[in-house]
Structure 1
Amino acid sequence: MTISNFTRRAVVGLIAAAGLAAPVAAEVDFSGKTIEWVIPFSETGGSAKWANFFAPLLSEALPGQPTVVVKFMPGAGSTKGANWFQEQEHDDGTLLFGTSGSTQFPYLLSDPRVRYEYNDWIPVMASGTGGVAYLNAEDGAKFDGSANALKDTSFIYGSQGATRLDLVPLLAWQMLGMDVEPVFGIKGRGDGRLMFERGEANIDYQTSSGFLGGSAPLVEAGQAVPMMTWGALDADGNIVRDPTFPDIPTFKEVCEATDGCETSGEAWDAWKAFFVAGFPVQKLAFLPGDTPQDVVDTYTAAFQAVTERADFADISSKRVGKYPVFVGDGSKAALQTATSVDDNAKQYVLNWLKDSYGVELN
């Protein structure tokens, strides 16, 4: 299967699934209960902002209006928390787990540290996001829509790890011919932003919620200059400008303007495949795999009600960006897109990880 056919089928399938109605929830009452929504990252990143945005809305929509508390379990780039969730069993519907592309990528790459299986979990909501790469003010002044003037600069980047979602920016910068040295080991993208703010890093990237909530003020203050987004996908699988950041060029545009960067071939196909797996369906909410159907239906109906709020489009665009949200059968289709990648792309990335960072996963 070619990458273009994969992305086209995936996007069309998701668009169709997004229109499916949620099931009617059975009589489940969460009155007086507390729901723990566990995020396997630190409290400073985009996943934290995503969960903290949805948590009060979910509380209002669930029967009995339980308290929804977001808790954090950082470690091993989210693998620690995902391995923990794999061992959890249904109790009373009061445990929810959130993942991101940094959880998906180790799974896709068969990382030996992964002891979790996405197909054992029950997705109840999925949402897309974007990403913005940005430079410090000094280097940003050199940026002219291409990376040509940036190739002689040594960049430092705070990274969760090359096998996490960070492989999308790291591979992109390498394709542009930039010298970017990652400092591995941070527990969340918000910690990477803090390194940038302290001057310990001079390049950074954040998912849309993290950028809107933490990096946009740096841009407004003149401390950061947006370089590019990863873009979004249209219904034909083509990369177009991110609807949340329509004034910022995509990586594809910057690549086309940069000497030596190609938007075709093995590197491009691999980058696009992992972009598709990591961003159009970037964050997912799960219940344990043995959760009864009536509880699953109740959560599905509640998330459906959240997306149908009259003010949802406005408030979500400001907090998490302008991206689709999938529930019910839509979230199941989204999970398949997020956990599928072409074998050729996977092998290219495995070779790249070994050659560039000495990381061997097979």
Structure 2
Amino acid sequence: MVVMSRIFRLSCTIAATAQLLVAAPATAQEDAEKFYKGKTVQAVVGYSPGSTFELYLRLLTRHIGKHIPGNPNIVLQHMPGAGSLKATNYLAAVAPKDGSVFGMPNPVNTIEPLIDPKNSRFDPRTFIWLGSLNTEISTCAFWSKDLRTLDDLKKREVIAGSTGPASGSTIDARVLAALTGVKFKVVTGYGNLNDIRLAAERGETDGFCGLLVSALKTDYWEQYKSGRMAVPVQMGLAKHAEFPNIPNAYELVSSEEDRQLFRLIFGPWSYGRPLFVPPGTAPERVAVLRAAFQRVVKDPAYLAETKKINLEIQPTGPEAIAKLVDEILRTPPPVVERARHVLGVANR
């Protein structure tokens, strides 16, 4: 009888534990649904309408809400300024930490605390990543008929248009010049890359650097395929699969110091369309939003819409992003100092 009683009590304990394990996910689901039902969630982007960052986030907001318990309304909030640093600073220090806000910064912002700490009031290692929608590779695009190859770029001074001194169109041209010897004259003051394209077609500039492959495929694909525009070089830690014959600047540098500079500047594009929530956001809300991200990047309706406009989707998980950020932020100080000099940080 004693043995039977013990067996009975053990069986009851096991049954109760099983019920708790089943109930826990249900309770978390119910809590999330209660919080998000009828709520508006802000999706912050550091650029104006028309940018590829805005396009990525806008398409995401159309689909991710149905994958969040309670199906909240997702509203896109534009917060342009300083190459998305304004938005990144807001998300890092000001935005609510209750799971009602997430955002997509320019990934290059994650190196700004190294490059320009006075204007970067955050530590990227504290960011709580949800994932990244795409791995990016930067390129240069030229409309001048005598600039078709990387060797062509080295034959004369190249006039590259730029949207600002801290923009990718300036940064990429300056770093490419330092690593390959191309002589760029960077002309700033253009409102956006399309303005530079129009200037190139008028003969005012040759073109620009800082054109990401995703933007190339959505905005300039026909011009590239027709030959009206040339892409003589790409800048990524690996070549893009669709451009095996375009030289990759990373493969051309010979010294470890040059490779370290390249990884510092272009490495962040490995997590090229990242999403994060403010540091300190409740873990249970982070789990909900991460799960929603994982589901939306497999959502047939979402993928059909991105495919329709030729928008690349190559997801990266939050753990991989955190690891890459940590590796980049451990760049040796001499390399960081060289980057500051190359980018002209003192004159910003």
TM-score normalised by length of structure 1: 0.74
Q: Distance in 2 between matches of 1:358 and 1:123?
A: 28
**Distance change (3 Å), C-alpha of 1:97 and 1:149:** closer
Compare CA radii of gyration and give the structure with the larger one.
2
Partner of 2:197: 196
Aligned twin of 2:86: 80
Question: Of 207, 211, 232, which aligns to 1:206?
Answer: 211
> Does residue 293 in structure 1 map to residue 291 in structure 2?
no
Query: CA separation of 1:250/1:201 partners in 2, compared to 1, >3 Å: closer, same or farther?
Result: same
Matched, 1:274 2:265: yes
Q: Which has the higher contact order (CA 8 A, sep 6+)?
A: 1
Q: Which amino acid aligns with 2:214?
A: S
Q: Does 1:170 align with 2:174?
A: yes
Structure 1 partner of 2:295:
305
For 1:359, the equivalent position in structure 2 comes to 346
- Any residues of structure 2 matched to 1:208-357 within 5 Å, and which? 208-232=213-237, 240-252=238-250, 255=252, 262-276=253-267, 278-309=268-299, 319-321=310-312, 323-327=314-318, 329-337=319-327, 339-353=329-343, 357=344
Q: Which of 33, 45, 56 is residue 50 of structure 1 equivalent to?
A: 56
Amino acid at match of 1:308: K
- RMSD over aligned CA atoms reads 3.1
Distance 1:35 1:289 in 2: 17
Tell me if structure 2 keeps the 8 A contact 1:49–1:320. no
Residue 103 of structure 1 deviates from its aligned partner by 1.6
- CA deviation after TM superposition for structure 1 residue 171, in Å: 1.0
Alignment partners' CA distance in 1, 2:108 and 2:340: 16
**Residue deviations 1:68-122 (CA, integer Å, cap 9, x gap):** 2222211122222222333324265221121123322322314311122324432
Structure 2, unpaired ranges of 5+: 1-24
Between the two proteins, what is the percent identity of the paired residues? 17
SS at structure 1 position matched to 2:271: coil
User: How many pairs align?
Assistant: 313
Deviations 1:163-211 (A, max 9, x none): 7684234211343322222234557xxx123322333532223122222
Tell me the residue number matched to 1:112. 118
- Cα-to-partner distance string for 1:201-254 (whole Å, 9 max, x where unaligned): 32223122222221223324543111122134xxxxxxx32125345332245x
What SS class does the counterpart of residue 123 from structure 1 fall into? strand
Greater fraction of residues in strand = 1
Q: Is 1:132–2:136 an aligned residue pair?
A: no
SS across alignment from 1:147: helix
Report what 1:32 is aligned to.
38
The one-letter code of the counterpart of 1:47 is: F
Counterpart position of 1:12: none
Structure 2 residue matching 1:97: 3-state secondary structure: strand
State the AA in 2 paired with 1:230.
M
Q: 2:107 aligns with which of 101, 105, 125?
A: 101
Give the CA deviation at 1:303: 0.6
- Whole-Å separation in 1 of the counterparts to 2:242 and 2:301: 17
> Partner letter of residue 248 of structure 2?
T
Give TM-score, length-normalised by structure 2.
0.77
